[in-house]
Amino acid sequence: MSAKAARAHGIDGTWVKPDWPPLTLDELRPILARFPHVIAPTRILTVSPRPFSAASVVATRHGRVFVKRHAHSVRDREGLLEEHRFIAFLIANGAAVPRVLANEDGETAIELGEWTYEVHQAPLGVDLYREALSWTPFLEATHARSVGVALARLHLAAQGYSAPRRLNRPLVAGFNLFAVETPTSALSHYIAARPALVDYPAAEGAAGQALALLEPFHQELRPHLSALPALWTHNDLHASNILWTNEPIPRAAAIIDFGLADRTNAVHDLAQTIERNIVDWLCLHPGSTPANLYVDLPAVHALLEGYESVRPLSDAEAAALAPMTALCHAEFALSEADYFLGVLHSEPKALVALNDYLVGHARWFHSEAGSALLTALRRWEWSRKSISAKIHSVHQAIPGGLRPR
C-alpha cells in the first residue's frame, strides 16, 4: 500500500486517514544502515492500520524486518526500553515473541528528532486479522482457545520479571484505579499526574460517572485483590496482535505489540483479552442500543479452556475474573483521552474516549447483554468450584486419599 493510500482504524469503527505519516524508504535507509545484517531496505511490504504509531514490514537485502515509529511525546527512548526489557525477559524464558534488534551501538530504541524508532525481527506467521478492526470478535472458537493457550504460556514466561510499574505515559493499560480500596482517591492521583486531563474538566466528570457505574464490580473484586499476584502482562491481546500458523486450523504462533504492557496481574490480562475479543464494541455508538452488541459466549469458554489447559487459575483468580472484566477497560480509556488531548490535541476524539469508551463501556455492563457476559463468567467460576468440590469429596471418601499404584 502506498503512503498516499494508507488508512487507519478510526475510533468510530470506520477507516480514516492516519494521524501519523506512514514510513518511507528514504526515511528508513539511514536508520537501518546502522543495524548489522539489515542492509538496504528495498520495499515497504505492509502499512499498519493501527492508529497510535506508524509501522511497516520492510523488505531488505537480508530479509524482512518490522519497523515502528512513535512520536517522541508518546514513547521516548526510556519508554520503549521499558517494553524491550520485558520482551527480552520473555524470550529468555521461551515465549513466542519477536526479538527486538539492536543497532551497531547496541541501541534498540533510536531517537531521531521528534521520533523514536524500534526494529523487530519479522516473525513467521500469518496475520489473519490484518483487515479486521481492533476489538472485533474472533472468527472461530478454535482461535479463541489457541489465544488462551498463548496467553497462559506468556504468563508463565513472565513470572519472575520484577521491574516496577511503568512511568506515567500515554497509552498504557495499567491496573491502578481498582487495585486499591478507594478508586476515587486513585483517580485523583491519576488525573493530577497528567496535565492534559487536569486542563480538561470533562475528563474528571466522565471518570466520576464511570466510577459510580463500576462501583458494584469493584466491591465484588475487593475481597480477591490480595490473592492476585503482581505480574508484567501484555494488556492488549486482541486477535490482530497474534500471528498465526498457516494450517487448516490456525494456531497462535507469536504474540506481538507490547505497547500497553505494564505490571498488573494475570486476571487483569485475561479479562482484557476477554473484553477485547468477545464483545463487538465498535457497534456501541450514540445511535445504538446495548442490545446491538454481539457477545460471543462460546468463545469465552473456549478461551478459558485453552488458558487453563496450560495455567489453571486459583479459586480467587477465577472469582475475580467477572468483576475484573467489567473494570479492566476504564484505565486505558482514560489513557486514550490523555493521548487525544495531550498529543493529538483533538477534543472530539477525547470526548469519544470519555463518553463512549469510558462511560459507555461501564454502562454497558449494566445492560442485559453485559450482565449476560458477567453471568456466564460467574457460572463458569461456580462450575469450576463444583468440580473441585467433587474431586475433594472423592479424595476424602477413599481411606488414605488417592495413592499412586
Does 394 have pLDDT greater than 80? Answer: no
Percentage of residues of the chain with pLDDT beyond 70: 89
Q: What is the model's pLDDT at position 400?
A: 54
More confident residue, 125 or 69: 69
Residue 310 near residue 152 (C-beta atoms within 8 A): yes
Q: What is the model's pLDDT at position 378?
A: 97
Residue 224 sits at the vertex; the CA angle it makes with 218 and 227, to the nearest 5 degrees, is 140
Backbone angles phi, psi at 242, to 5 degrees: -125, 140
- Interval 320-363: pLDDT, tens: 999 999 999 999 999 999 999 999 999 999 999 999 999 999 99
What mean pLDDT do residues 211-221 have? 98
C-alpha pair distances (Å), 79 with each of 1, 113, 186, 190, 261: 29, 16, 23, 18, 11
What mean pLDDT do residues 389-399 have? 52
Q: What is the model's pLDDT at position 17?
A: 83
Question: 30, 135, 120: which is closest to 83 by C-alpha?
Answer: 120
What mean pLDDT do residues 191-212 have? 96
Q: What is the model's pLDDT at position 402?
A: 45
Place of cell 469465552: 300
Q: What is the model's pLDDT at position 395?
A: 46
Q: What is the model's pLDDT at position 132?
A: 77
Residue 200 near residue 349 (C-beta atoms within 8 A): no
Residue 317 sits at the vertex; the CA angle it makes with 270 and 274, to the nearest 5 degrees, is 20
Query: Half-sphere exposure (CA, 13 Å, Cβ side) for 358?
Result: 28
What mean pLDDT do residues 110-132 have? 90
d(CA 86, CA 84): 5
d(CA 18, CA 142): 32
Does 153 have pLDDT greater than 50? Answer: yes
Which residues, other chains included, contact 299 with Cβ-Cβ below 8 Å and sequence gap of 6+?
Answer: 137, 138, 141, 143, 144, 277, 278
d(CA 68, CA 130): 16
Neighbour count for residue 49 (Cβ, 10 Å)? 21
- Interval 283-319: pLDDT, tens: 665 544 455 578 999 999 999 999 999 999 999 999 9
Point out which residues pair with 126 in neighbouring strands: 244
SS3 23: coil
Does 21 have pLDDT greater than 80? Answer: yes
Query: How far, rounded to the nearest angstrom, does the alpha carbon of residue 254 sit from its chain's CA centroid?
Result: 14
- Interval 230-285: pLDDT, tens: 999 999 999 999 999 999 899 999 999 999 999 999 999 999 999 999 998 876 65
How much is the mean pLDDT over the chain?
Answer: 90
Q: What is the model's pLDDT at position 123?
A: 77
Helical ranges in 50-182 per DSSP H: 77-92, 141-158
Q: Which domains does the chain have, with CATH numbers?
A: 8-121 (3.30.200.20), 141-390 (3.90.1200)
d(CA 268, CA 233): 8
Buried b (16+ CB within 10 A) or exposed e, 367-399: eebbeebbebbbebbeebeeeeeeeeeeeeeee
Give me the DSSP letters along 167-188.
PS-SS-----TTSSS-HHHHHH
Neighbour count for residue 142 (Cβ, 10 Å)? 15
User: Residue 249 carries which side chain, given as an amino acid letter?
Assistant: I
What mean pLDDT do residues 11-34 have? 86
Q: What is the model's pLDDT at position 174?
A: 94
Give the range among 3-7, 62-66, 362-366 with minimum mean pLDDT: 3-7
Longest dimension (CA), the chain: 76
Q: What is the model's pLDDT at position 360?
A: 92
- Interval 67-105: pLDDT, tens: 999 999 999 999 999 999 999 999 999 999 999 999 999
